[in-house]
Amino acid sequence: MNTTQFNAALPINLHDQTVVIFGGTSGIGLAAAIQAKAAGAKVIVIGSNAERAQQTADTHGFVGWRAADVTRSETIYAALADIAHVDHLVLLAGSFVAGRVLDADVDYLRRAFEERMWASVHAIRALGEKLSKSGSITFISGNLADRPNAYGTAVLAAASAAMEALARGLTLELAPVRVNTLSPGPIDTPILGKALGAGRDAFVASLEQALPLHRLGSAEEAGNAVVFLMNNTYMNGAVLNVDGGARLA
């Protein structure tokens, strides 16, 4: 066997490939967009706010931007309508939907699935044959898929687990398009502040003591994992845990 093929690291090379990132205007999505561009990709970011999406694209030199409310399918189809070809579709949009099943408004809880599973279904349908057969789709789940808790996250945990199941099914249904799921643990992104408000710092300090690495992950670390899933052409049907071992704690 010629072992020289194992001696060189796989280069990160997305030269001239078109990458579309839902949720690409902040947090993990923005970090992934910046790193994909650095690897040569033509990046289009999609966010919920048009002004912020345009500003993000201008600031970082992305080739394009779109605005879409992922809970409204017509805006997803409109955002993707004039994009002729996509090599990598990344679906990271989604808010922190928390509420107890016995108490919370059901329409609010339903957002966990609307923002994740159904938004993904509509985005994939909107692209159709425009998505490269040699390309990839990346979903996002999270630690809750493995370790739900008793603090009003049952529906969000179910939606996260559903994304992993959806990816496995689509790996077969959409073959040879590769479909993977990023499962991040506690990551220091703006969503923490939105979800926790004034209690953010105290929660983070307590959480850090319980985590094996005694820190939260960064958006850059999680974004790097997204780029890895795009670039490694043998990653398929996988869940990539980027959580510092949090699911084991």
Q: How far apart are the first and last CA of the chain?
A: 41
Averaged over 140-153, what is the pLDDT?
93
Res 173 pLDDT > 70: yes
- Residue 193 pLDDT level (bands cut at 50, 70, 90): low
The pLDDT, as a whole number, for residue 152 is 94
Average of per-residue pLDDT values in the chain: 93
pLDDT for the residue numbered 143: 93
For residue 189, pLDDT over 90 is answered with no
In a domain? residue 148: yes
- For residue 143, the 8-state DSSP code is G
Structural domain boundaries, residue 132 = 13-189+218-243
Using an 8 Å Cβ cutoff, are 236 and 171 in contact?
yes
* Domain assignment present for 6: no
What pTM, to 2 d.p., does this model score? 0.92
Q: Assign residue 154 the CATH number of its domain.
A: 3.40.50.720
CA dist., res. 77 & res. 127, Å (int): 8
Gap between the Cα atoms of 237 and 119, Å rounded: 19
In a domain, 81, yes or no: yes
pLDDT tens profile 7-52: 566 788 999 999 999 999 999 999 999 999 999 999 999 999 999 9
Whether residue 208 is contained in a domain is answered as no
Q: Classify residue 178: in a domain, yes or no.
A: yes
Residue in 216, 238, 215, 211 with CA at minimum distance from that of residue 226 = 238
Is residue 83 a part of any domain in this protein?
Answer: yes
Residue 229 has pLDDT above 50, yes or no: yes
Ranges 27-31, 105-109, 127-131, 146-150: which has the least confidence: 146-150
5 is a domain residue = no
Residue 200 is assigned to a structural domain of this protein:
no
Q: How many CB atoms lie within 10 A of CB 228?
A: 19
pLDDT at 1: 47
pLDDT at site 200: 75
Closest C-alpha to 27, from 52, 63, 64: 52
Q: What is the pLDDT of residue 207?
A: 84
In the predicted structure, residue 243 carries a pLDDT above the cut 90: yes
Q: How many domains does the chain have?
A: 1
CA–CA distance, 226 with 222 (Å, rounded to integer): 7
